[in-house]
Amino acid sequence: MKKQLLPIAILLAVTGTVQSQIAIGKTTVTNAFVSLEFADTENRGFVLPYVETKTGITENGTVIYDTTDHKVKYLKDTGTWADLSVDNTGTADILIQTNKTESTAAKSVIGSAAAADSTPGMLILSDTNKAMIVPKVASPHLNIIDPAPGMMAYDTVKRQLAVYNGKVWTFWKP
C-alpha cells in the first residue's frame, strides 16, 4: 500500500493542486456543478463548526454554529450575521467542543487550492461554479434521533433546509 501511495504523493507535490469533486457515503456526485455531496441513504445531518469568537471571520457566505448564543448563523455581508435558528431559547449542550485545542492552520480545500490559500476556514469549497449538497433526510426532526447542535439537513418531505440549534429545528424555504 505504501508503494502505491508514494507515486501519488510525489505527483501531488509536483503538481501542487488537485481539483476534484467529493462524494461522502456514495460513489459519485450528482453532476459536474457539485463540489461536495453527501449520501441521502441514512438519517444523518451535517454539523457546522462551533465558533466561540467570530470577529476574525470576514468571508461572506460562511456558515457557523455560534456558541455564544447557541445559534446557526451565516455571514450575509461583512460584519452582518444572519440568524438561521430563529429561537431565543436555545440552550445547547456544547461540551463536545469545550476545551478543545484547535489548529488554526488546519485546512481542507475542495476546488482550486490557489484561490483558497488566503481564505480562513477549515473546510473551503473554493470553486466558483460548484456547490455543496447537504445531506437529504425525510423529516429530519423526526428521523435524526440525537441531532447535534449546529446540524443541517435538507428535509425531503417539506422540501426545506432544516437547521438544529441544540433545542429546536428551524425550517427555511426559498
Any alpha helices (H) in 19-118, and if so which ranges?
A: 113-116
- Is residue 92 within 8 A of residue 149, CB to CB? The reply is yes
pLDDT at residue 69, as a whole number = 85
pTM above 0.85, yes or no: no
The residue range of the domain holding 103 is 2-172
Name the domain count of the chain: 1
Using the predicted structure, report yes or no on whether residue 138 has a pLDDT greater than 90. Answer: yes
Whole-angstrom distance, CA of residue 94 vs CA of residue 164: 13
Which secondary structure element, helix H or strand E, spans residue 77, and what is its range?
A: strand 71-77
- Is residue 14 within 8 A of residue 58, CB to CB? The reply is no
Which secondary structure element, helix H or strand E, spans residue 20, and what is its range?
A: none
- Residues paired with 73 in a beta bridge: 64, 83
Using the predicted structure, report yes or no on whether residue 1 has a pLDDT greater than 50. Answer: no
Tens-digit pLDDT profile for residues 17-28: 445 788 888 888
Which of these, 34, 40, 39, 9, lies nearest to 21 by C-alpha position?
34
